[in-house]
Copies of this chain bind each other. A is one copy, B any other.
């Protein structure tokens, strides 16, 4: 039995509730404090149903906690992208050449609810809602809260404090303000923001467009995407610059401009969004930021996890998956350090976790930014289109020998993000250069034998690129 096991978790969002569940399963005494009301009792989504993409890294962590099946029950599988052009034509592009590789649309609220339900099944877990953390005195391990129902202020002391309080983390802000150690920190915003809209269900409660796809309306400088909800609706997100280019959020302030913009750029989507005027005016425009920091922990006292440690932009669909994978990696490290100890050495646990995990969360942050530019700049690039087509072919024909960067990141949960990034980038570079130099190309009647030759070339060139980078110390 472990002695120093009074755990305080700040934030009962997706990461905090999964962490609470896992630590409870391991026997810790867990108190979770959440600033918002209990989302199972109060609708806090302001009329919007936010959904996310759940994929293999997230599922791996849910499986660890016995939650995979319950999560799958509320999932809608999406097997690929469906691109919409201005004329309303659509083009499908699968996520993988392998059939069992797909991502899942899931409601943030519903997933959070089943995690809270499961955590509360454990008598060693208490969740306190409406309790906003104001600051943490990290030296003394005391967190200061305000109860938003009673306006009462109170403080809580614990053996160890976890900050899973998201991109605006109060624990992270306390690291900055207390200045007890050299804290490396970055917040980087894209020039784009996002706004959510809704395609409602038809009158029979059915989806109006394919629910087996993540829909994309790529337009270079801006884009619209849509993910299906289980009630037949889609949550639509517009990504657009705040102030650059012909169209931007600063320009789209009149109903007239908004409608004209959608009529020109997204006529098929416009026809499906009946409340666009109200939604555009009332739904907030959110920023798209990346947060990195280091170290995540202070001595044996506090640790940042999830978005609080590494908020990323949504363009790889990995934000939630990375946060869930944090819990998985942390659990593996607890396995190692809990062995035969009566008190756990939290400082060693935190340092080992940071060392094991930091490179991977940095990598997924960079990959998500890459994908923003890739979607924006390369979507109409014939070289990139041919590459994508060739990769599908390779994955279909050689399912055990080839995985694209997207597959490595999304479906190969047994390797870290960093390894997926390094290998995936080298592969992309090899493929693009082989195509550009006309050394490989795909065509309709390509034979398996021809593809095999291409595969060998790509693998050889990829290894060459990785070797040369290594020699140059990159």
Contacts of A471 in B (CB 8 A): 383, 429, 432-433, 436
Cβ-based interface call for A91 (8 A): no
Q: Is the CB of A472 within 8 A of B433?
A: yes
Contacts of A187 in B (CB 8 A): 183-186
Contacts of A469 in B (CB 8 A): 429
The range of chain A's interface size is 20 to 34
* Partner among B287, B433, B474 whose Cβ is within 8 Å of the Cβ of A182: B287
Copies of this protein chain in the complex: 2
Q: Is the CB of A378 within 8 A of B473?
A: yes
Among the interface residues A294, A433, A473, which one has the most CB atoms of the partner chain B within 10 A? A473
Q: Is the CB of B184 within 8 A of A473?
A: no
Q: Is the CB of B377 within 8 A of A473?
A: yes
**Separation of A138 and B249 alpha carbons in the complex (Å):** 23
Q: Which residue of B lies closest to A430 (CB)?
A: B472
Contacts of A468 in B (CB 8 A): 429, 433
Contacts of A148 in B (CB 8 A): none
Among the interface residues A182, A378, A429, A436, which one has the most CB atoms of the partner chain B within 10 A? A182
* Partner among B242, B432, B473 whose Cβ is within 8 Å of the Cβ of A472: B432
Beta-carbon contacts under 8 Å, A424-444 to B: 425, 428-429, 432-433, 436
Q: Is the CB of B188 within 8 A of A472?
A: no
- Chain A contact residues, CB within 8 Å of chain B: 182-189, 242, 287, 289, 292, 294, 373-374, 377-378, 383, 425, 428-429, 432-433, 436, 468-469, 471-474
Q: List 17 A-B contacts (CB under 8 A).
A: A182-B242, A182-B287, A183-B187, A183-B189, A184-B186, A184-B289, A185-B186, A185-B187, A185-B188, A186-B292, A373-B473, A428-B472, A429-B469, A429-B474, A432-B471, A432-B472, A433-B471
